[in-house]
Amino acid sequence: MMTAVNPTFKFIAILVPGVLLSFVYDVFTPLAYLTFLIVVTFTLSDISFKKWIRLFAPFALFALGFGWTAALYTNEAFSGGTVLFEFWVMKLTVGGLQTGLSITFRSLCFFAMSLLFIFTTDTTKFMMSLIHQCKVPPKIAYGIIAGYRFLPVFQHELQILRKAHQIRGMRRLKGIKGKLTQFQRYSIPLLANGIRKAERVAIAMESKGFTGNRERTYYHRMTVIKRDWLFLAMMVGVLFIVALLSYQLGYLKIFSKKM
């Protein structure tokens, strides 16, 4: 059902909680919201767990490291409380640990929401919905779809260039200067080819009668129905409920200020 939600609404539904979450500095609120996000991921969409965990697990490690650094080097306002342990220049306080964990869970929330969006959204439909709901000009939206098709092409071109340079013995350029020259050698043909290809696509689009103006019909008409509002309300609403609960339990912290 997540795939059917209007992409613009889905986007807002992760953007708003995302922004709100960045003000919260306690552990409970992001942890509870993360639990909710994971439940949503596996009940409301058909993302396979294997595929999800393969992306989520490495990021979780990264988030832990990130949180650990934050825990050790939090600024004065956050790092109060008992000293848990001290080693050489490292000093871990309760306040620091809390902030670190909060940051870890918060970044995991951001990542879980991004995955939720990426896995359930079709690029074409997202662009169409931007045209219909956000009044983005077709020229830009269709341009983005065409550009999106280019990503694998660029990667392929870079591989070929590497091989071509190897054939000519380019690998032998050493040192920073050599690396710099190498970068220059790659970037010019890559850019030249990119521009040439973009031009061809533009010509092909125009030759099919594309003018970029709004006088056109749409195969996918993206509409907004009650379900989309409900989804948005749910995503934002749950965050408020979680925050309220957290407040009741005495955890909630906005920046360094305990509520």
Partner 1 sequence: MKTKQYESQEAALISVENFSFAYESIDDPLLIDLNFTLHHDEVTLLMGASGSGKSTVSLCLNGLYPEAVEGESNGCITFSGKDITKFPSGMLNQHIGIVFQDPETQFCMIHVEDELAFTLENLQTPPAQMAGMITEALKLVGMESYKHSKLHELSGGEKQKIALASVLLSEPELLILDEATVNLDPASTREFVQLVKAIQEKQQISVLIIDHQADEWLQFTDRLLLLGKEGRLMADEHPDRLFTAKKALLKKEGVFLPKKYDNSPLFTRSMQPIPPAAKNILTVEGINFNRKNKSILNGVDLEIRGGEFISIVGRNGSGKSTLLEIMAGILEPAGGQVLMHGKPLQLWQESELRQKMGFVFQNPEHQFITDTVYDEIVFGMKLNDYPEEVIQRSSSFLLEQFQLSEHKFQNPFSLSGGQKRRLSVATALDDTPDILLFDEPTFGQDAYTTHRLMEMILDLKERGIAIVFVTHDMELASLSDRILVLHDGMIAFSDQPKNLWMQGDLLKKARLRLPYHRENPASREEVHL
Dihedral angle sign, alpha carbons of residues 32, 105, 23, 91: positive
Rule CB under 8 A: is residue 214 a binding residue for partner 1? no
**Minimum distance from residue 171 beta carbon to partner 1 (Å):** 6
Q: 69 or 223, CB closer to partner 1?
A: 223
| Cα end-to-end distance, the chain, whole Å | 37
* Contact code string over 22-61 relative to partner 1, x by CB under 8 A: ----------------------------------------
Rule CB under 8 A: is residue 1 a binding residue for partner 1? no
Buried b (16+ CB within 10 A) or exposed e, 103-120: bbbbbbbbbbbebbbebb
Structure tokens, 188: 């010019």
Which residues have C-beta within 8 Å of that of residue 106, sequence separation ≥ 6?
Answer: 21, 22, 24, 30
| Binds partner 1 by CB under 8 A, chosen from 19, 50, 152, 248 | 152
Rule CB under 8 A: is residue 111 a binding residue for partner 1? no
* Contact code string over 220-239 relative to partner 1, x by CB under 8 A: xx------------------
Q: 174 or 257, CB closer to partner 1?
A: 174
Rule CB under 8 A: is residue 118 a binding residue for partner 1? no
**Minimum distance from residue 245 beta carbon to partner 1 (Å):** 42
103: closest CA among 259, 258, 253? 253
